[in-house]
Amino acid sequence: MKRLLILTAVLVSMVSAQATVLRVNNIEGIDAPYKTIDAALLDAVSGDTIMVEGSPTSYGTITIEKSITMIGSGYWQVKNGIMAEGANATFTNNVIVKVPNVTIHGIDMGYLYLYDDNCVVTRCKLSGIYYNVEKDGSTIVKSSDNSVISQCVIRGKITVYGGTSNRTSGHQITNNIFNGDTQVENPTAEIIQLDNSYIAYNTFRGKLAFGSCSATSVEYNLWSEEPSSSSSNSVGTNQIHNFGKLLTKDSTDKDFYEHEGTLDLRDTFGAFAGDNPYVISGIPTGPVITDIEMPTTVEKGSKLNVTLKVAVSK
């Protein structure tokens, strides 16, 4: 097992040399060290990486109370030609983050609930994001600030949980595709109650409801109509385009990429522009192990032959 963890750490480039990689796979018959993310979290320490392999079965609701990195297999891999038919995404229900400095890559989840600072979420697919604010009377004593949400597919809203008077700040929301897989023809995405944040290079298949934000910079987005905004926000150069029925719930990020290319907008506006453009596939940066094959028993003195199947982002 120790040798397997070393091989994994070498292949996953974002993992530091000192971190332990804990492998999770809930598919029946797969010989993995952990069947649930909860079990891996019990053994993990801050700085470790939990590698959650693709499965047709959800890993359930996850509560993270250690400053770890969690890496999944991505999403839309088969439709985009990244992997062969039969590959699975890493599915979870809601993910609840209770501590600072958590990093999540390549997970197809329900809602993300953030209770602390400095959460980084990239190449995930999620229903929406709720930031939490704790108060003592009318005084904010703790808020979930300074998150990075980048290169994700977001189905709905990004907002603060617990009332419109609660505020959170310092967020970077860039290079995401909003409403990329909804059935609604002209969907609405909400971004509200965020202060001193940066919203740029996103693609909105539908309308952005942008409100109750202050000192937030909004630029280089691609959307179907200009959102309303208060004068305290900096709304720069964006581009309006009506997606209409051209892209539906069956579309993939590759369809968005090709569509925006035909508009002559891709290099300047939307998810595929800027310094950190959306990368097709939903697979995290660097190689991701999608399957491991190894014998259940080995005779004494014989070699342990391990086969790793690896996918790489496009």
List pLDDT tens digits, range 52-67. Answer: 999 999 999 999 999 9
The answer, yes or no, to whether residue 158 has pLDDT greater than 50, is yes
Contacts (Cβ under 8 Å, ≥6 apart) of 121: 103, 104, 105, 112, 129, 147, 148, 149, 150, 152
209 by DSSP, 3-state: which?
Answer: strand
37 by DSSP, 3-state: which?
Answer: helix
pLDDT band at 286 (very low <50, low <70, confident <90, very high): low
- For the segment 259-271, what is each residue's pLDDT rounded down to a tens digit? 999 988 899 999 9
Q: Work out the end-to-end distance of the chain between its first and last CA atoms, rounded to an integer number of angstroms.
A: 30
Q: Residue 307 is which amino acid? A: T
The answer, yes or no, to whether residue 102 has pLDDT greater than 80, is yes
> Is the dihedral angle over the CA atoms 104, 201, 87, 293 positive or is it negative?
negative
Are the C-beta atoms of 70 and 63 separated by less than 8 Å?
A: no
The answer, yes or no, to whether residue 298 has pLDDT greater than 80, is no
Q: How far apart are CA 104 and CA 120, in angstroms?
A: 6
Q: What dihedral angle (degrees, nearest 10) is formed by the CA atoms of 208, 195, 108, 98?
A: -150
- For the segment 175-208, what is each residue's pLDDT rounded down to a tens digit? 999 986 666 777 888 888 899 999 999 999 888 8
pLDDT band at 290 (very low <50, low <70, confident <90, very high): low
Percentage of the chain modeled with pLDDT above 90: 48
The reported pTM is: 0.86
The answer, yes or no, to whether residue 249 has pLDDT greater than 80, is no
pLDDT band at 295 (very low <50, low <70, confident <90, very high): confident
Contacts (Cβ under 8 Å, ≥6 apart) of 147: 114, 117, 118, 119, 120, 121, 129, 131, 170, 171, 172
**pLDDT value at position 39?**
97
Q: How far apart are CA 201 and CA 208, in angstroms?
A: 13
Q: Residue 39 is which amino acid? A: A
**pLDDT value at position 289?**
66
Angle, alpha carbons 11-15-18 (nearest 5°): 110
Are the C-beta atoms of 71 and 284 separated by less than 8 Å?
A: yes
Percentage of the chain modeled with pLDDT above 70: 86
Residue that the structure tokens 């009332």 belong to? 163
**pLDDT value at position 31?**
87
Q: How far apart are CA 189 and CA 97, in angstroms?
A: 22
**pLDDT value at position 16?**
47
Domain boundaries in the chain?
A: 136-278
pLDDT band at 1 (very low <50, low <70, confident <90, very high): very low
pLDDT band at 149 (very low <50, low <70, confident <90, very high): very high
The answer, yes or no, to whether residue 5 has pLDDT greater than 50, is no
pLDDT band at 9 (very low <50, low <70, confident <90, very high): very low
The answer, yes or no, to whether residue 7 has pLDDT greater than 50, is no
**pLDDT value at position 266?**
92
Q: How far apart are CA 157 and CA 130, in angstroms?
A: 8
Structure tokens at 62: 């996850």
Mean pLDDT of 210-217: 88
Give the number of C-alpha atoms closer than 13 A to the C-alpha of residue 83, restricted to the C-beta side: 25
Angle, alpha carbons 109-205-58 (nearest 5°): 15
The answer, yes or no, to whether residue 10 has pLDDT greater than 70, is no
Q: Residue 211 is which amino acid? A: G
Are the C-beta atoms of 64 and 70 separated by less than 8 Å?
A: yes
Mean pLDDT of 210-219: 89
For the chain, counts of helices (H) and of strands (E)? 3, 28
